[in-house]
Structure 1
């Protein structure tokens, strides 16, 4: 059985946000997606506590607070550190991968160039997390 997820998507590129939402619609998934344009906005959403995400999906290259800075803040917070964070990025820089895993991410997914490959990666990722036992906050 799969569960509907509350997803906080942190992405500053409007086209990437549209692409992600299109995949959700194409796959007929009923996950609730909240969008933050950068890490600063995401922290504001999380601190407000009106929306409690099951998972966070974020890009690394963002203005104001980038993905790595956001992850450091997230994982240092006693309340927020248990939310699984998955990096969805174009950066295949080995240093970025290592830094993110040292901080405590739950996954690192590269955005493929081909749309069909992107759909398949998002499908697999969300399928896994919607069947996984998540910590209720």
Structure 2
């Protein structure tokens, strides 16, 4: 099965929130090692702590400004897609 190189989650997604999706990703042996980035506007420290407790690899507060947001996502892509060494399958 082809898996994504990285998963970007937001805390406030429709239906399931990002923490629920993270729980499901980490509970499945096929996806538990996938790099997961929580990309959110939340400044709540508890959201960050819970994300890390559940196994998120990175917690990034997304900028409100579109140009800054675009640059942040580009930087994330450069790191996770080009520099990061994935765990072997």
**Bucket of the pairwise TM-score, normalised by the shorter protein:** 0.7 to 0.9
Q: Which aligned runs of 4 or more in structure 1 are off by greater than 4 angstroms?
A: none
Structure-2 residue corresponding to 1:101: 52
Instruction: Report the 3-state secondary structure (helix = DSSP H, G, I; strand = E; otherwise coil) of the residue aligned with 1:81.
Output: coil
| Match 1:65 to one of 12, 16, 25 | 16
Structure-1 residue corresponding to 2:42: 91
Structure-2 residue corresponding to 1:82: 33
| TM-score, normalised via structure 2 length | 0.87
Distance 2:46 2:61 in 1: 14
1:120 deviates by 1.9
Instruction: Report the 3-state secondary structure (helix = DSSP H, G, I; strand = E; otherwise coil) of the residue aligned with 2:32.
Output: helix
| Match 1:119 to one of 70, 77, 82 | 70
Q: Which runs of 5+ in 2 are unaligned?
A: none
| TM-score, normalised via structure 1 length | 0.59
The alignment status of 1:133 with 2:85, answered yes or no, reads: yes
Q: Which has the larger radius of gyration?
A: 1
Aligned-residue RMSD, C-alpha: 1.4
Instruction: Report the 3-state secondary structure (helix = DSSP H, G, I; strand = E; otherwise coil) of the residue aligned with 1:52.
Output: coil
Q: Tell me which of the two structures has the higher relative contact order, counting C-alpha pairs closer than 8 angstroms and 6 or more residues apart.
A: 2
1:116 deviates by 2.1
Distance 2:17 2:66 in 1: 25
